[in-house]
Structure 1
């Protein structure tokens, strides 16, 4: 086991994911802290000043995008990677604008997360996939963009998209289309 001076804060409401990532990073010599909500994440960040953090986009009651600036205000030198099972270009761009060094789709393994965390700052020249996304993927990303513009408000987003609120809720419950 290699030793490192790095302190990693994992912020995710998925306890099993946290357990697996905690073990993987501990084996790599990291000091690992875990928080399942924004309040605990901020308390740990202020107390332990992590050098790195993974931040879930959708916490149980909150958005990781709202927590990101607060974490970086508490620990300005922390390198944060936003993780999500519901990726979209809109949320990726927003995460980078707010100070994340990278944005990864779940499932991501420890090596992918380490590679993303090793970046000192976001790479605006990152490659975009060569294959154009499908119509279903473009629809998903457009919904995510409009949802972001309305601060996560489902009713306002449904009105802006001209669809029934329940229809939008059903679409949001589905996993995003890959490509």
Structure 2
């Protein structure tokens, strides 16, 4: 079960990210919701402009975010997703389930491919085949991703499962 907290709380007090989820129920977690104070912090020039990107973790769960995948050999892809914190983990772990927010696969969770799947796939082609999107299973470690900072305004994901590759 999730408990909601305002994004401004974590901006004011980053140490709150270390808080363990409440233990009153099995599989607890926090959802971060954008509040008025956080919205004000994201506006520039007296409200004329609003910041588009997310600069710091945690990601808010009441916003769809764009995930951009660019590659030298493939066309750049943009997917709208929700980042939902992994249950039983503090927000400081930066672990999320990634849920598609639009299109044919709306509501399905991204899943990492196992290295064994990649090796079998690579015998027949040059790329790593992504595992099909599936309904969220909070116990499936292949659906859990650690989000890491790449540059000032960008992030990348690693699978929390050993011997696996994120989609």
TM-score calculated relative to the size of structure 1: 0.26
Judging by fraction of residues, say which structure has more helix: 1
